[in-house]
Structure 1
Amino acid sequence: MSFETPGPVEENWRDAVSSIEEIIEDARNGRMFILIDHEDRENEGDLVIPAQMATPEAINFMAKHGRGLICLSLPGERIDALGLPLMASQNSSRHETAFTVSIEAREGVSTGISAHDRARTVAVAIDPGKTASDIATPGHVFPLRARDGGVLVRAGHTEAAVDVARLAGLNPSGVICEIMKEDGDMARLPDLVAFAQLHNLKIGTISDLISYRRRHDNLVRVRDEQIVTSEFGGEWVMRVYTDETQGAEHIALIKGDIS
């Protein structure tokens, strides 16, 4: 189903939701924010911060106040560069969250679980100068493999964290943590609004992020261009375009200057 259209609960709380432009600005400035997915999906809110801004203080805030699992969202090419296999070869989880094996920084940590150690592991994992030899497995940080195409392909927090960081001009990676209530139940939108007000955080929605990307991203790329000759029209320029979200190809034949 499409998750671009907000559900009725989200519409009722629209005044409490910040624009994606505001969320991107907070990300650019290293401020944590909340992203909620569609109420017909997980219907959950995650604390999110760009991974390059994930200080020990940010990790500690997530552990203390978010209470969920602290994960590191990474694009597929970085997961591959680190040589991290998926936790399960056949993913049968409800929303196909793509966990890899857990990780630890090989150097600069003690037991690996402290806020300092997890922040260190995140910093090593996203550093393009670091390789698989700088990472140990298993560990106390849980990488997630974001789908190519981001929220336009999968409307999850994993992809949303990577998309927002990229749109903010930062390393395309994010640290995320589900928000639970004190009684252990998952926080829903009314709870998340109160949580955001208490901690002075902005709330954004993945539905709005999908709409934003459809409006602003260039979703089509030129894959190939060459000159072809036809006995009926002479020389033409043939361009092959690829839809970045679906992988579909479209061919255009161009005659003359169309600029």
Structure 2
Amino acid sequence: MEGNSGSHQPKDNYDGLLAELPDDYLASVEDYHRLAYAVVGEARRVATGRFGLRSLIEGLGTPVFDVPMGRAGEMECRVWIAGDELYADEGGVVRSMHITTLAAAAAFVGVAPGTEAREHDSPELGDTERWLRVSPEVGAHLESWFRLGNDVLEQLRALPDAVDADEVQLWPGHFDIATAIGGAERGTRATYGLSPGDAAHPYPYAYVGPWGEVDRADPYWNDPAFGASLPYSEMLGTANPADAAFEFLFAGYDSING
């Protein structure tokens, strides 16, 4: 396959990205993760049966979804996280609360804190009355990280020969932003994503997860867990982290489709 990765020109900046992550970074990410799948994603799931989230201009949360209102029809709603605040837009009326506990957040949006959107690598729900370890700094970092992810993944999906590209979603169960591109029957399908960190990778990283076999002798395929990964430190060490992330993802795409 012939291809040219080009140059990524981000539509927004990513000023919220932290140059140094705090010692309790992963614990904070896990609590944002709990909030995303047990409250924010759950609010959409209860109303629609779907739970995918998005990177938003205001933060991270649900797309607009309709809530049935009986004879009154439907009301457009949205729930999102920005920094250490939780927001709900119900028919154009916006409310907010400082994030404290899962129980309080669930009551705020009108759901029971649950695990319906849970996936295999979601953290345990835990004590829903425990205060969540959130902060304006880590919240802003996550918003910028997922915004960067959305931008580079949309650029990847826009490649002329990208086939069967899934919508970019922020998955509340995994708590990563990802898409899948390629033909499964041709062995070219792979998942491309960015994660803020997890138990196996305690810091943010970009990854490519091929659905089929790849040449493991190629040093690009450096992650035995699923395929290839690029650590956050290598992105920050470049002039433009978005360019670095896109070039990494494109290299995997080119290898799989070559």
TM-score by length of 2: 0.26
TM-score by length of 1: 0.26
Which structure features the higher share of strand residues? 1
